[in-house]
Amino acid sequence: MSKIFPKSANALPLQILIFLGVLGVVAAAGITYYATPAYLRVGYQPVQPVPFDHSLHAGQLGMDCRYCHASVEKSGTSSVPAAQTCMNCHSIIKPASPLLEVVRKSYETGDPVPWVKIHQAPDYVYFNHSVHVNRGVSCVECHGKVNEMTTVYHAMPHSMSWCLDCHRNPAQRIRNPEDVFNLNSAPLAAQGPAGLKTAEKFIHDWKVKPPQSCSGCHR
Amino acid sequence: MRYAYYTLAFVVVLLISVMGFRGLRSSRPPIEVFPDMDRQAKYKPQATSKFFADGRADRPLPVGTVPRGRTVNADPAFLRADDFRYAGKNADGTFARGFPGPVTETLIRRGQNRYTIYCAPCHGALGDGNGITKSYGMALTPTYHDDRLRSMAEGEIFNTITYGKNTMFPYADKLSPDERWAVVAYVRALQRAGQATVNDVPFEQRGGLK
């Protein structure tokens, strides 16, 4: 009577187990890489109704972020400007540009420009802009170098673990309060041991206590 | 068994070629893997609304709206009843001279901060009207350093910031009344600095100045 299974089949159960192990590792790696905000959100670059160029306005012209996003220091929301803010200059500069047609129409009718929101925190996250920028956290930490972006894209993952990286160790990310809106500045900690000491002093003096409990950001 | 690994490798290569790498630009909205309450039935600031005809969740304030739960006696500021502080005017409607509060270094520094953000793009860091916009066609920005503007009442400068003038648009949406007074104080400081001489600098700080 011949054998039903060849002898090599004896090793098969072990080989299958090893394969399943490899499969599990590959699947876990794939999910970590692809199913997290670092992949899903970073790089989101919607087409906007007006091709506003941040690298021109905030970079080349050197305008302050707050010229347009005026409420960022005072409120939880960093406001998107009304068309009137654009018209402050564009009533004189390039007043007939076809690219600004939507802005002019918005200014005349009062209907908002339909900007596409890029950084959209989940509704259970209560993020407050003013408390961050008034405590040395620069725009660039969460939005990347917008002053070099022709069309703005989502530059940072904005995942919860990414928030906590800074909430657990703010000294590494804090800037001099004067540098918060200077997107080319370096964090204090990147300016050598003296800078780190300044950051730690700032955290102490200004009572920077980023919450790590759930209710700090979720209500 | 070998073929299982070949298949796995093939699937991995296929996945990477379809999904790409992290950070690739895309105009498609991000996928929310577990969208549990990510988007709730509530309005956030500057959001869109399907309910209101103009599509805005933020409602424009009807004229004459006052905040709830405050009274004139407890907080006179909210009705802006003080003509000087909130309109820069005297009781008879003329523009007031002077400031509604004390002019301190803090106020001037606050003014400098606000001026640099909101005024300097056109009026220039020195107040000479040579801001960055001049080279792009904003030709008519005046300098602060002439007698007309040196002798202008503080209240009129305040009024100009609030309502704009000629080609300048109003800045009341960006600068609160108190911030406007701070900017007025800084404009005065700029005008004073424009007329400074070496005698204004303390002797020990003159250094190489001649």
* CB nearest A43 (choices: B19, B26, B60): B26
What is the value of pTM for the model shown?
0.89
Residue B48 lies in a domain: no
Q: Is A25 on the interface with B (CB under 8 A)?
A: no
Is B146 part of a structural domain of the chain?
yes
Amino acid B191: pLDDT: 94
Over pLDDT 90: what percentage of chain B? Answer: 56
Please state the domain count of chain B: 1
Q: Give the pLDDT score at B75.
A: 66
Residue A210: its pLDDT value, please?
94
**Structural domain of B120:** 113-197
What is the predicted pLDDT for the residue at B86? 86
Considering only the beta carbons, identify the residue of B30, B44, B46 that sits closest to A40: B30
Please enumerate in sequence order all residues whose Cβ is within 8 A of that of A208, keeping only pairs 6 or more positions apart, or say none: A135, A136, A170, A174, A202
pLDDT band at B66 (very low <50, low <70, confident <90, very high): confident
Average pLDDT, chain B: 89
Residues 91-110 of B with CB under 8 A from A: none
The span from the CA of A169 to the CA of A212, in Å, is 11
Note whether A44 and B29 are within 8 A (CB): yes
Give B178-182 contacts, CB < 8 A, sequence gap 24+. B179/B110, B179/B111, B179/B114, B181/B85, B181/B99, B181/B100, B181/B101, B181/B107, B181/B111, B182/B107, B182/B108, B182/B110, B182/B111, B182/B114
pLDDT band at B74 (very low <50, low <70, confident <90, very high): low
Q: Is residue B47 part of a domain?
A: no
Inter-chain CB pairs, A–B, below 8 Å: 118
The model's confidence at residue B160, banded by pLDDT at 50, 70 and 90, is: very high
CATH number at residue B180: 1.10.760.10
* B28 contacts chain A (CB < 8 A): yes
In a domain, B147, yes or no: yes
**SS3 of B137-195:** CCCCCCCCCCHHHHCCCHHHHHHHHHHCECCECCCCCCCCHHHHHHHHHHHHHHHHHHC
Contact B128, B144 (CB under 8 A): yes
Burial class (CB in 10 A: 0-12, 13-18, 19+), B209: exposed
> Which residues, 6+ apart, have CB-to-CB distance to B140 below 8 Å?
A92, B166, B167
Average of pLDDT values for B12-33?
Answer: 91
Is A70 in CB contact (< 8 Å) with chain B? yes
* pLDDT more than 90, % of chain A: 89
Predicted local confidence at residue B63, as pLDDT: 84
Structural domain includes residue B81: no
Position B121 in a domain: yes
Q: Evaluate whether residue B183 is within a structural domain.
A: yes
Residue that wins the pLDDT comparison between A149 and B197: A149
Cα–Cα distance measured from residue B182 to residue B112, given in angstroms and rounded to the nearest whole number: 8
- The pLDDT tens digits for A26-42 are 999 999 999 999 999 99
Does residue B184 lie in a domain region?
A: yes
At residue B208, the pLDDT reads: 72
Partners of residue B27 in chain A, C-beta under 8 Å: 44-47
